[in-house]
A and B are shown apart, each in its own frame.
Chain A
Amino acid sequence: MKTRGFLISFLALALVLGQVLAVQAEEKVFKVGAALAFSGPLAFVGNGFRNGAQITVDYFNGKGGLKIGEDSYRIEIVDADTKFTADGATTAARRLVDAEKVHMVIGAIAGPQTLGVLSVTGPAKIITLHSAGVTESIDKKHGRKYSFRGWMSYDEIAPGVFKWLKKNRGIQRIAMLDLDYESSHHGHDVVQRIAEKLGLEVVYDEFYEGGTKDLSPFLLKAIAKKPDVIFNTATSGTGWGLLIKQARELGYEGLFAENHPPTPKETGEIAGMDNMQGLIGFGYATDGEMAPEGMVAFKDAYVKKYGSWHEHSTVLGIPFASVLMAIEKAGTLDPDKIAAVLESGAEWKIPWGITGTWGGAGSYGHPHQWFAPNYAIEVQGEKAVPIGVIPMSDLLHGWD
């Protein structure tokens, strides 16, 4: 009997909480929701993505805000942790869209989470900028009218990467060992395809279960096949570091390469700086002679604000500038008009000194893929130094 009264009080509590959590705040603010992993092993990446976006936001706010028509909007980023799971992402997106009423979303990092986010932002017509490698996240077949991929996935980058590796490092035999995860499976498939196209040989192709620390059983077999390069498709810094360390300990002396900018400090923490030397990654150039001034400025601004450089901060932070420029050009908050501007095929010379474009109509049915200059980056000492550039033609037409 008393428990009934008790239940009432609980429902009352729920009610109160419901009101408390209901939305407030209505100013001239352009809210950007960040649906990223802020907890768990990928928090490093999530934070980097978000902080990089913040640098771009600071730039726009610094010159008076986002100018849409006659109004100036102060841009604000609101965080929502996806916990790197699909349903966590859906909940995060729900909070951003329903409670925070954001105008745009950046995130998520990988396929499952991004699909979760898109299931909410799609129907709500919220422009979403993400880095998910899965085709389903941006192809027209699945709708995705408001979904834009800011990071060149395997499909875009593999031809350029492997052509460069073949020409400049003479690789012929490829070994791949990755965490068993959707993005890595996709990555392996793409590498298999490009290997066939370029006449390279994949000598080892395996996945290991999350939580496995002892990779020596796998590495033994891989190294025995005498690969020229061990290629990382989607494993995070610590896993990759462990792999590098153990491979070297087992006697591997060849090349390590990955599809992302190398993170010498983070990966080197685990792998040992010595073992990292000569590792090749691919991404934007923010250092050295090859880097455009604007990119160096981005890096300096980032280091000034956050204390140390984060190699992944450019992933969404750079294309984000293009999206904001498109919103200004469209002169409206109407997502359909913004999408149309982004799809117009224009070149976007962003404040950070590089020129990119939204393409991929051939592969995805509409041009929602960001293309920008990509560099081969080598670990030298404790730094990651750009040493070569991937030609735009390889990026845009690599599979032809």
Chain B
Amino acid sequence: MAVNETPHKNILFPLIAILLLGLPWVLQSAYSLHLMIMVGLMVVLAASNRLVLVSGAWFMGHAAFYAIGAYGVVLLRSKAGLDYWTALPLAGLMASLVAFVLGYATSRVRGIPFAIISVAFVEVVRLTIIKIKWLGGHKALTSPPPEPLLGIDFSSKIEYYYFILFLVLITLFILYLIENSPAGAALKTMAANEELAESLGINTTRYKVFTLTLCAFFGGMAGGFYAPYVAVTGPTSFTLNTSILILFNVVVGGMGSLWGPVVGAVFLTLLPEVLPGQAGIQNILYAGVVLAVLFFLPRGIVDLPNRIRLAAGRRKGGKLA
């Protein structure tokens, strides 16, 4: 596999880079750019959620970190008068802090009880926002655009696009580093067999807290991006369904690779745009597609090239090319 692939690799990389950088001019309509921005947002969310899943923990509470990031930015700007660029990382840190506490508190909990805690967690965050008027209650809080950074005005989608592109690249880069580090190996061992990992000297608690905290940071940053981009932030955007949607993106894309969330995000964000009909039919088709992927591509869409190759190999008479 290696020898034939390398020349391709050298061309592909810059090609992708040029495409991504030039996207606003390649795409004609502002609405398409909006879609790509939403894809980028989902990539950050799905990729960060995946980190926790890779360590074996069934975390379904990502919408909560997303919410903390969004509300953090909104409230830090409106109540504390901070500017956006200060509020954004602070909001990310706020989400991380909550994750840190949650991680330690639940360090002894695994599997399904942990999943249920994460479900309850989303609801607790959402209901807390609703019940405490100071946090906004049911209101949709409006966010002005970010203050200009380095002279760049955030007046159109183009600036937002590069912003999310930047966030996506940073997120993927950091996650890539972690996965290919000894920490990454430790996480995979934990996922396979937690007791074994412990016996090998891996401090599972610390790793759990670490993944959750990092995941929350990116989730919070995604929320912080979301707030001024959508301009209105309300509790209805941060429900269990939101968490489930993020997980769909991970699973359908493929959990096995870091590209999974990317592919999943592109696919599932653009899918509803091409599905005909109103809500009911759309949901039926969407669910159908997800089930089809689960059936035929259990490792996700990223696995598709492999599967095609396997199928082709078999047809050639049993020998894999």
Contact = CB atoms under 8 A, between A and B. Distances in A.
Do A and B interact?
yes
Contacts of A113: 140
A25 interface: no
Interface residues of A, number: 48
Given A14-B39, A180-B138, A87 B30 contact: no
B31 A98 contact: yes
Interface string B8-26: 1100110110011000001
Nearest to A113: B140
A87 B16 contact: no
Contacts, number: 153
Contact of B140 (A4, A14, A99, A115): A115
A296 B234 CA distance: 40
Given A2-B305, A112-B138, A180-B130, A17 B270 contact: yes
Contact of A39 (B30, B34, B278): B278
A4 B262 CA distance: 11
Nearest to B305: A2
Contact of B8 (A5, A14, A111, A116): A5
Contact of A13 (B9, B130, B266, B309): B266
Interface in A146-184: 180-182
B34 A86 contact: no
A14 B305 contact: no
Contacts of A181: 138
Given A18-B36, A98-B30, A7 B16 contact: yes
A116 B226 CA distance: 13
Contact of A182 (B5, B26, B137, B270): B137
Given A111-B140, A116-B230, A18 B27 contact: yes
B36 A14 contact: yes
Contacts of A130: none
A3 B302 contact: yes
B266 A21 contact: no
A85 interface: yes
B279 interface: yes
A23 B29 contact: yes
B231 A116 contact: yes
Given A21-B35, A185-B138, A119 B266 contact: no
B306 interface: yes
Contacts of B34: 91, 94, 98
Given A5-B8, A11-B266, A112-B236, A87 B230 contact: yes
B232 to A, nearest CB: 4
A378 interface: no
A199 B304 CA distance: 72
Contacts of B230: 86-87, 90-91, 116, 119
B234 A86 contact: yes
Nearest to B127: A209
A4 B270 contact: no
B212 to A, nearest CB: 25
B16 A182 contact: no
Contact of B266 (A14, A86, A89): A14
Given A98-B34, A99-B29, A181-B138, A5 B12 contact: yes
A6 B302 contact: yes
Query: Looking at chain B's contact residues, is the secondary structure mostly helix, strand, loop, or mixed?
Result: helix
Given A10-B263, A19-B27, A39-B279, A90 B231 contact: yes
A279 B114 CA distance: 49
Interface in A10-45: 10-11, 13-15, 17-19, 21-23, 38-40
B256 to A, nearest CB: 10
Contact of B28 (A13, A22, A95, A115): A22
Contacts of A40: 279
A95 B273 CA distance: 11
B149 interface: no
A90 to B, nearest CB: 5
A39 B283 CA distance: 11
B200 interface: no
A139 interface: no
A8 B273 contact: no
Contacts of A38: 278-279
Interface string B25-61: 0111111111110010000000000000000000000
A16 to B, nearest CB: 10
A81 interface: yes
A372 B206 CA distance: 65
Contacts of B31: 21-23, 94-95, 98-99
Contacts of A134: 139
A86 B237 CA distance: 7
B259 interface: yes
Interface string B244-259: 0000000000000101
A111 B139 contact: yes
B96 interface: no
Interface in A259-294: none
B12 A4 contact: yes
B8 A1 contact: yes
Given A1-B1, A84-B236, A115-B232, 5 more contacts: A2-B305, A14-B39, A22-B31, A112-B139, A112-B232
Closest 7 CB pairs of A and B: A18-B32, A112-B140, A39-B279, A119-B231, A22-B29, A182-B138, A2-B305
30 contacts: A1-B5, A2-B305, A3-B263, A4-B8, A4-B12, A6-B304, A7-B16, A13-B270, A18-B36, A19-B28, A21-B29, A21-B273, A22-B31, A23-B29, A38-B278, A81-B279, A85-B236, A87-B226, A87-B230, A90-B232, A94-B30, A98-B29, A112-B140, A115-B142, A119-B142, A119-B231, A119-B232, A120-B231, A136-B142, A182-B137
Interface of B: 1, 5, 8-9, 12-13, 15-16, 19-20, 26-36, 39, 130, 137-140, 142, 226, 230-234, 236-237, 257, 259, 262-263, 266-267, 270, 273-274, 278-280, 302, 304-306, 309
